[in-house]
């Protein structure tokens, strides 16, 4: 190893810290995750929205939060709203904030899904010099790989980093409409209350119109040891249809709608799509759960951002397998 190479590595360690992390990392957790809480501030008493929020669109970056349909304290016209992400245990350290600007509301059944654009962000996981060094590193990594179908601002990119401090599960979605069928990974999703569930798919990909046409989906929770198999199915987002026998693992029928789901699934939730709305780069779906089957226990496939991984390692948290996750895996 040459002197120049060692010098570059030493400078890199000074700027970035002791390790190098991808932008997203695989982690195995029980569901629901118990590491991070997400609180909505600005509507009186802070609300714990850990279990009823999601990324509703990638470009622009829009966050959806579920509210009861007849609730009086809704955020229309409110200013100063924000999400705050805290460590659940320990000192409940504040790790990041995302400022919100109300956009619109989608009413489905008993629920209201309120949509917010991003005003600003705060990232407290790293010191400012190392944080900005990471930002520059990630920007350099993205040069030449930017997807024109999901244009996103630098502010939104940095806010997404904070958003992924909260571990996000990755599921396999199964859908079938006549002769057309598909199975693909997804993590832009979340429950919004009263058995309603929302998820977002890139509108330029073939699976979005397939899901809208079929009107029913099955979501399979994935054991973390099958993460690499699931990531390989990211290419299916661009396919109008696949054959079930192309899959490299055994499948079985879901109990209600009869679509193929992986035999290794920890949990299978079947859903009826009740609304679909095009928002920026993505189509937002709201569905009602029609069956929920717990099949096995085990650690589930989640993803977190590498900067949160750095913070975890500083606290000597359990190791995370650092594996890059492509955009196809999220939808």
Tell me what pLDDT residue 38 has. 98
Give the CA radius of gyration of the chain: 20
Exposed, middle or buried: residue 243 (CB in 10 Å: 0-12, 13-18, 19+)?
A: exposed
CATH classification of 35-167+306-325, choosing from 2.60.40, 2.30.110, 1.10.3470, 3.40.50? 2.30.110
Q: Please give the class, per CATH, of domain 169-301.
A: mainly beta
* Token pair in block for residue 257: 């709608």
Exposed, middle or buried: residue 250 (CB in 10 Å: 0-12, 13-18, 19+)?
A: exposed
Q: Which of 48, 38, 21 is nearest to 162 (CA)?
A: 38
Residues 276 and 283 sit within 8 Å (Cβ to Cβ): yes
Tell me what pLDDT residue 75 has. 60
Contacts of 147 (CB under 8 A, 6+ apart): 327
Tell me what pLDDT residue 137 has. 72
CA distance 75 to 93: 26
Residues 303 and 187 sit within 8 Å (Cβ to Cβ): yes
CA distance 112 to 117: 16
Tell me what pLDDT residue 14 has. 39
CA distance 200 to 20: 30
Tell me which residue has tokens 């939730």. 269
* Token pair in block for residue 40: 């909505």
Count other C-beta atoms under 10 Å from residue 47's C-beta: 16
CA distance 166 to 72: 28
Helix axes 128-142, 154-163, angle to 10 degrees: 110
Residue 62 is classified by DSSP as: E
H or E element that contains 99: strand 94-108
H or E element that contains 122: strand 111-123
3-state SS assignment for residue 14: helix
Q: What is the largest CA-CA distance in the chain?
A: 67
Tell me what pLDDT residue 131 has. 79
Tell me what pLDDT residue 269 has. 98
CA distance 52 to 191: 5
DSSP assignment of 205-265 equals: STHHHHHHHH-EEEEEE-BGGGHHHHHHGGGGGG-S---GGGSSS-EEE-TTT--EEETT-
Tell me what pLDDT residue 13 has. 44
Q: Comparing 35-167+306-325 with 169-301, is the CATH topology the same?
A: yes
* Ranges of each domain in the chain: 35-167+306-325, 169-301
3-state SS assignment for residue 141: helix
Q: Which of 224, 174, 223, 216 is nearest to 197 (CA)?
A: 216
Tell me what pLDDT residue 152 has. 85
pLDDT below 70 — which residues of the chain?
Answer: 1-22, 70-77, 141-150, 316-331
Tell me what pLDDT residue 79 has. 77
């Amino acid at each position: 190893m040459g002197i120049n190479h060692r010098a570059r590595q030493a400078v890199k360690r000074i700027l970035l810290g002791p390790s190098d992390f991808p932008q997203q990392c695989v982690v195995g957790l029980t569901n629901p995750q118990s590491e991070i809480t997400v609180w909505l501030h600005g509507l009186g008493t802070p609300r714990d929205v850990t279990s009823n929020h999601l990324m509703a669109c990638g470009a622009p970056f829009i966050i959806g939060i579920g509210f009861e349909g007849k609730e009086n304290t809704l955020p229309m016209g409110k200013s100063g709203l924000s999400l705050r992400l805290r460590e659940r245990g320990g000192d409940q350290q504040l790790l990041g904030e995302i400022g919100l600007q109300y956009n619109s509301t989608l009413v489905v059944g008993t629920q209201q899904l309120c949509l917010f654009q991003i005003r600003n962000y705060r990232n407290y996981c790293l010191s400012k010099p190392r944080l900005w060094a990471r930002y520059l590193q990630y920007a350099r990594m993205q040069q030449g790989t930017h997807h024109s179908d999901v244009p996103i601002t630098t502010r939104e990119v940095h806010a997404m980093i904070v958003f992924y401090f909260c571990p996000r599960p990755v599921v396999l979605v199964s859908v079938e409409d006549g002769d057309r069928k598909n199975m693909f990974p997804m993590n832009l999703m979340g429950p919004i209350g009263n058995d309603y569930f929302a998820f977002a798919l890139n509108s330029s990909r073939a699976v979005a119109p397939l899901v809208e046409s079929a009107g029913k989906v099955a979501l399979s929770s994935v054991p973390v040891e099958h993460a690499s198999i699931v990531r390989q199915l990211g290419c299916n987002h661009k396919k109008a249809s696949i054959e079930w026998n192309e899959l490299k693992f055994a499948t079985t029928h879901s109990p209600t709608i009869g679509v193929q789901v992986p035999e290794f699934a920890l949990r299978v939730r079947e859903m009826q799509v009740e609304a679909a709305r095009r928002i920026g780069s993505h189509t937002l779906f709201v569905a009602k759960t029609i069956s929920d089957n717990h099949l096995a226990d085990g650690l589930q496939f989640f993803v977190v951002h590498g900067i949160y991984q750095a913070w975890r390692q500083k606290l000597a948290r359990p190791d995370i397998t650092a594996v890059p996750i492509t955009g196809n895996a999220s939808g």
